[in-house]
């Protein structure tokens, strides 16, 4: 009985830490829901600074039935872009955040980059974090998904939300240029203190169990 109780409490503590730190702050991260905004995907909007188009796609999803294709229409050294703002109050000043996603290029000629703009309660831009991946370069396998992890990005004082911008860049002209994006996540990085508390709690429960066993021998 005691063993089951200890196991349950350790699992509960782990879930509490993980749920707080790993909650995805983005809506429709897998582009499963359709919508307006220039991307065809709910909650995502087309960035007007992008050179070409971004479209909800169902030909090469990483999971589910859809992804978002950032298409540069066969033009070298160009890009397409989309973005999403997290909910007001979703970001905690002083905390670190990670963004990760899966991407694939039809011809290994394109790659993604991400930008994180932290916003205050009035949607004023407080700062820019930038991450970039070249894994989609010439050595990548066409139409094979790769994992892209960028961060951590530290939320500055006054931050209330974040604007996540995803770009698809094309290196050279080939006629098939673009990047498939899927399963995007923007979440708080686990704090070392939280992990330490979990470890101490687990050790304390183990010690208590061992003491109880010795007392009953």
Q: What is the pLDDT along the chain (217 residues), one digit of tens a residue?
A: 555 554 444 444 444 444 445 799 999 999 999 998 778 999 999 876 656 788 999 999 999 999 999 987 655 567 888 999 999 999 999 999 999 999 998 877 788 889 899 999 999 999 777 666 655 455 578 899 999 888 899 999 999 999 999 988 877 666 667 899 999 999 999 876 444 444 444 544 444 554 444 555 5
What's phi and psi for 130, nearest 5 deg? -130, 135
Number of domains in the chain: 2
Do residue 85 and residue 184 come from a single domain? Answer: yes
Do residue 122 and residue 198 come from a single domain? Answer: no
Vertex 101 angle, CA 45 and 198, to 5° = 120
Q: What separation in angstroms does the CA of 85 have from each of 47, 166, 180?
A: 12, 12, 20
Do residue 184 and residue 198 come from a single domain? Answer: no
**Domain limits at 55?**
24-189
Do residue 73 and residue 108 come from a single domain? Answer: yes
Do residue 157 and residue 202 come from a single domain? Answer: no
- Position 134 scores a pLDDT of 55
Do residue 61 and residue 113 come from a single domain? Answer: yes
Biggest CA-to-CA distance, the chain: 77
Say what the pTM is. Answer: 0.77
pLDDT in tens, 46-56: 876 656 788 99
- Position 3 scores a pLDDT of 54
Do residue 217 and residue 165 come from a single domain? Answer: no
Which residue from 173, 142, 197 is spatially nearest to 10, judged by alpha carbons? 197
Do residue 141 and residue 173 come from a single domain? Answer: yes
Do residue 32 and residue 71 come from a single domain? Answer: yes
Do residue 139 and residue 211 come from a single domain? Answer: no
Looking at residue 112, which CATH number applies to its domain? Answer: 2.60.120.260
């Amino acid at each position: 009985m005691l063993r089951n109780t200890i196991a349950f409490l350790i699992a509960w503590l782990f879930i509490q830490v993980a749920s707080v730190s790993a909650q995805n702050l983005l809506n429709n991260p897998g582009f499963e829901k359709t919508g307006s905004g220039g991307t065809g995907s709910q909650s995502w909007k087309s960035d007007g600074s992008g050179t070409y188009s971004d479209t909800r796609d169902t030909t090469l999803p990483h999971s589910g039935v859809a992804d978002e294709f950032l298409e540069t229409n066969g033009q070298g050294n160009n890009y397409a872009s989309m973005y999403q703002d997290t909910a007001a109050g979703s970001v905690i000043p002083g905390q670190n955040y990670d963004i990760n996603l899966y991407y694939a290029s039809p011809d290994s000629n394109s790659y993604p980059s991400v930008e994180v703009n932290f916003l205050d309660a009035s949607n004023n831009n407080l700062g820019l974090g930038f991450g970039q991946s070249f894994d989609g370069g010439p050595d990548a396998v066409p139409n094979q998904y790769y994992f892209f992890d960028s961060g951590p990005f530290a939320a500055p004082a006054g931050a209330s939300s974040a604007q996540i911008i995803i770009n698809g860049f094309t290196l050279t002209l080939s006629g098939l240029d673009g990047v498939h994006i899927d399963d995007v996540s923007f979440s708080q990085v686990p704090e070392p203190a939280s992990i330490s508390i979990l470890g101490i709690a687990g050790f304390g429960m183990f010690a208590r169990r061992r003491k109880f066993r010795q007392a009953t021998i």
